[in-house]
Amino acid sequence: MSLDIQQGVSLKPFNTFGIDVAARWFTQAHSDAEVREALAMAAERQWPVLVIGGGSNLLLTADVDALVLRMASRGIRLLSDDGDQVVLEAEAGEPWHPFVEHSLALGLSGLENLSLIPGTVGAAPMQNIGAYGVEIKDVFAGLTALDRQSGELRDFSLQECAFGYRDSLFKREPGRWLILRVRFNLQRHATLHLEYGPVRQRLSEQGIEIPTPGDVSQAICSIRREKLPDPAELGNAGSFFKNPVVLAELAARIKVDHPGLVAYAQADGQMKLAAGWLIEQAGWKGFREGDAGVHRLQSLVLVNYGQASGGQLHALAQRIQADILERFGVNLEMEPNLY
């Protein structure tokens, strides 16, 4: 047996909230073979399995009575290059931001708006991660996943992933698909996405009139560092709530009492509201109770000031949800997965 199975391992280093709970069993898989070995062992011993990547979209509320399988596979490959369009493939365990930096160092464009997002490549399609006008689906070329029901490998196209807002087939079928590697369509001749005002403003402040993908990445990194706490310094999982999509009629009713409502029209006629704005208007920004709190600069971010439990953070999130529903009639959905 090549796998190192450990017992009673603290998961504090493996989740960005820094929640100190224990995994009954823990191992790391560096290859497809080790993934299969871990799953086979768990099936033989009737252990539940929790698969994790960077732990950046996870809220652990109790000790994990399961085999925690951390995806640690590494490797980046250039699959095709026609002089303009390039397909780059990365293993699931590759840390996301270093992968973005690697693509930029190769002179490739497409991932720059997704700079500095925590987590791993394999977890990115699960949530269809997105920032500053770009989502995974916009640069997606395919992925390979293991079907835990049949043991077979399957390649997924863009359409088959059924991507939605912070959503995908893989999130809707939890426990079935284990993503092994992901492929991206990137460009040598950049088509930059600068629709979001803060990005243009930051580039302008830097005196950059004709930005490169690297310039955009650096601008976004500086904005994110100002707005979002570093998980290495303050435990968090980034944006904790999705921006809710509501009927236009509800948005109009809210705007009567709150003219400053931040809302974006959607193609289907609905409106996407800024969850952070709603939370801030309700007075939660900077709230702290014990070591569980809401970040003082970004209302979307719940933080662990040191010793908060996952249960305390979950309870705080539920209080915020109830308050926003009562005040605005809007349901907020949590982004992180609870365990």
Active site residues: 166, 239, 335
Estimate the share of the chain in helix, then strand, then coil, as percent rounded to the nearest 5. 30, 30, 40
What is the Cα–Cα distance from 119 to 234, expressed in whole angstroms? 16
| Structure tokens that stand for 305 in this block | 């000031």
CB of 301 closer than 8 Å to CB of 56: no
What is the Cα–Cα distance from 330 to 188, expressed in whole angstroms? 42
Residue 173, judged by CB atoms within 10 A of its CB (0-12, 13-18, 19+), counts as: exposed
> Side-chain half-sphere of 50: how many Cα atoms within 13 Å?
23
Listing from the earlier edge strand, what are the strands of the sheet with 288-289? 235-239, 301-304, 292-294, 288-289
Angstrom distances, CA of residue 331 to CA of 9, 275, 279, 334: 36, 10, 12, 10
SS3 (DSSP) at 13: helix
CB of 312 closer than 8 Å to CB of 290: yes
What DSSP letter does each residue of 235-287 carry, written as one string?
EEEEE-BPPPEE-HHHHHHHHHH-TT--EEE-TTS-EEE-HHHHHHHTT-TT-
Strand 177-187 vs strand 22-29: parallel, antiparallel, or unpaired?
Answer: unpaired
Sequence-distant (6+) residues with CB within 8 A of 213 are: 104, 108, 109, 110, 112, 190, 192
